[in-house]
């Protein structure tokens, strides 16, 4: 067949416009498509909740791609390996409760599983603010990442959600916005307690414990949870990230019943 260049443009524009338009009002909006965000998205979508993920970068996966110091291998514990196995990841038993996996396989299969479950992932879109109604976060204010990077003065658009998840990693970007512009967080000081230096044993436990509704309507998950509540980082062991995403999803599902 002949190829019409404008037809290619029309197909891309019309499909994106339709899919984007159907996600202006959702059950759950997630900032960040790393391990916690993708795991939460999959569980929420499997439960029938309309779920959208906004990732500011071109690629999904957060810090998983590079494994440890660019060696494309990650480690998980026994408690979390079933999450990887449930999406078809080949997990290797390394003994003493440690399991390894190919970081590229993990990233691609977590994302594919979230999409297959019904979640929609939009990349190159940044969350620059939140919607607030009656002292509750009820959506994200979004813009193209390219606009942010270029420093252009372009007004954003808004997406409404019954619940939001900050899965932006170490930066805890949405929580910082809420603290600066909306009000105190559900922390001892009301502010971010700041991430501590590496200790995987403590960090892996506390990242799950610290997955909480940090402000009405906003749940923090993944590395951002430890950044908000003042707990250690844990490096290239990702079991806690997966369990945190799953906990965030289950917390929200209970509240949406």
pLDDT digits (tens, 9 = 90+) for 172-223: 999 999 999 999 999 999 999 999 999 999 999 999 999 999 999 999 999 9
Residue 141 lies in a domain: yes
Classify 180 in phi/psi space as left (phi over 0), alpha (psi -120 to 50) or beta: alpha
pLDDT of residue 1: 84
Element of type H or E holding 223? helix 223-229
pLDDT of residue 79: 94
Q: 46-105 pLDDT, tens per residue?
A: 999 999 999 999 999 999 999 999 999 999 999 999 999 999 999 999 999 999 999 999
Q: Residue 147: pLDDT above 90?
A: yes
Burial of 189 (0-12, 13-18, 19+ CB in 10 A): exposed
pLDDT of residue 257: 82
Residue 180 lies in a domain: yes
Q: Total domain count for the chain?
A: 1
Q: 9-25 pLDDT, tens per residue?
A: 999 999 999 999 999 99
Q: What is the mean pLDDT of residues 112-134?
A: 99
Residue 82 lies in a domain: yes
Residue 157 domain boundaries: 23-256
Calculate the average pLDDT of the chain.
Answer: 98
Residue 244 lies in a domain: yes
Q: Record the tokens describing residue 180, joined without a space.
A: 């600066």
Comparing CA positions, the residue from 64, 149, 150 lying closest to residue 103 is: 64
Q: Residue 157: pLDDT above 90?
A: yes
Residue 15 lies in a domain: no
First to last CA, the chain: 51
In the structure, what pLDDT confidence band is assigned to residue 42 with cuts at 50, 70 and 90? Answer: very high
pLDDT of residue 133: 97
Residue in the structure block whose two tokens are 């999406």: 87
Residue 7 lies in a domain: no
CATH code of residue 86: 3.50.50.60
């Amino acid at each position: 067949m002949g190829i019409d260049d404008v037809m290619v443009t029309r197909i891309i524009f019309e499909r994106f416009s339709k899919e984007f338009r159907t996600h202006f009002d959702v059950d759950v909006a997630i900032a960040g498509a790393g391990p916690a965000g993708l795991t939460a998205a999959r569980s929420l979508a499997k439960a029938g909740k309309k779920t959208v993920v906004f990732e500011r970068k071109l690629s999904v996966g957060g810090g998983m791609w590079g494994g440890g110091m660019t060696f494309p291998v990650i480690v998980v514990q026994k408690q979390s390996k079933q999450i990887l196995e449930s999406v078809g990841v080949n997990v290797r038993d390394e003994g003493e409760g440690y399991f390894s996996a190919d970081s590229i396989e993990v990233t691609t299969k977590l994302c594919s599983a979230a999409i297959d479950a019904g979640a929609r992932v939009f990349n190159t879109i940044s969350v620059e603010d939140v919607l607030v109604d009656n002292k509750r976060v009820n959506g994200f204010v979004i813009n193209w990442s390219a606009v942010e990077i270029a420093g252009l003065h372009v007004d954003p658009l808004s997406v409404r959600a019954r619940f939001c998840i900050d899965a932006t990693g170490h930066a805890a970007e949405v929580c910082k916005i809420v603290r600066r512009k909306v009000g105190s967080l559900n922390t001892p000081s009301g502010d971010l307690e700041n991430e501590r230096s590496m200790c995987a044993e403590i960090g892996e436990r506390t990242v799950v414990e610290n997955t909480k509704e940090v402000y009405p309507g906003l749940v923090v998950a993944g590395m951002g949870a430890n950044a908000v509540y003042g707990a250690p980082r844990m490096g290239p062991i990702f079991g806690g990230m997966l369990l945190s995403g799953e906990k965030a999803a289950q917390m929200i599902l209970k509240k949406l019943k």
